[in-house]
Amino acid sequence: MAFWAYLLRCADGSFYAGHTDALEARIGVHEAGRGGDYTARRRPVTLVWSQDFPSRIEALEAERQIKGWSRAKKEALIAGDWTRVSQLAASRGTRASTSSARTEFDRERSDKPD
């Protein structure tokens, strides 16, 4: 079974990170306004990034990691710009949008070549 980490762009331009074992169904729940208060108040939402993982723990770690990233870093992830993701990871002065402990996901993704 695959598990997914995903990133939504909300109608107000903000991002929402989550994880699930049924990506299409979960996006439908968000779009219907039943995915939680944050996305319900910011519909419509658009899936802008997703990645599958072999375990729920890995998908959850990715979600937590992404929640700790700055807006610029999330935009680089969406664009698939791993050079920029790496640069933003190295620049400790960039504030994260939410706090979260760093995980292995960040280090692995930052090392990926273009």
The total domain count for the chain is 1
Assign residue 48 the CATH number of its domain.
3.40.1440
* Distance from C-alpha of 33 to C-alpha of 27, rounded to nearest angstrom: 10
**CA–CA gap between residue 42 and residue 95 (Å, rounded):** 23
- DSSP 8-class letter at 81: -
The alpha carbon of 86 is separated from its chain's Cα centroid by a whole number of angstroms, namely 16
Range of the domain at 85: 3-110
- Cβ density class 33-66: b for 16+ within 10 Å, e for less: eebeeebeebeebeebbbbebeeeebbbbbbbbb
pLDDT tens for 45-58 read 999 999 999 999 99
* Residues 69-89 pLDDT 10s: 999 999 999 999 999 999 998
Question: pTM, whole model, 2 decimals?
Answer: 0.79
